[in-house]
Amino acid sequence: MLLVKPFDRDRAVEYAQRWALDRNPLFTDFTGQGGNCTNFVSQSILAGSCVMNFTPTFGWYFISSTDRSPSWTGVEFFYDFMINNEGVGPFAREIPRRQIRPGDVIQLANEDNDFYHTLIVTQVIGAMILVSAQSDDALNRRLSTYDYSYARYLRIEGVRVEYPDDTCFEGLIAGTSLPQRP
């Protein structure tokens, strides 16, 4: 059974601000190998969710540089996972720019509508959006300073977690078994 817990956007922002200009040694740095932006945002989302989805190929996880899901480091794969995830882990929906708040994710596209960069929102001051990112490292950089043709805005809605099986009732009421230790 899956339950939904809140996404802790404060922790996601705190993580992003701590590691935007540095690299967490727990993760591989893909700068110069296709970019580190989505890897960094995934780390930040993990800090706010503490749950990965280990479904082979289509999940969202990082174990090592050679054992990770495409959605952990790929811009489009990240989007597809977050928008379509109905299993364990974080999930998102697209929102209008005016609804953006810290802990949300922004993806930038070029004039051909190819999405190439993933950022995490770390502060909103009136209409000014500040983001943090890696590859081209940025800490609380104004979104308006980026050169892009289109942006999409993702609200992390929550995190699905597995709830322990509550089927103990039948055995308990029948007097045949106690719940098992996980």
CA separation for the pair 82, 71 (Å, rounded)? 9
Supply the pTM of this predicted model.
0.90
Q: Where are the domains of the chain?
A: 2-174
Tens digits of residue pLDDT in 80-112 = 999 999 999 999 999 999 999 999 999 999 999
CA contacts within 13 A on the Cβ side of 166: 5
Question: b/e map of 87-96 (b: 16 or more CB within 10 Å)?
Answer: bbbbbbeeee
Return the CATH number of the domain spanning residue range 2-174. 3.90.1720
Q: Is 119 helix (H, G, I), strand (E, B) or coil?
A: strand
Tens digits of residue pLDDT in 128-177 = 999 999 999 999 999 999 999 999 999 999 999 987 655 666 776 677 77
- Residues pairing with 142 in the sheet: 130
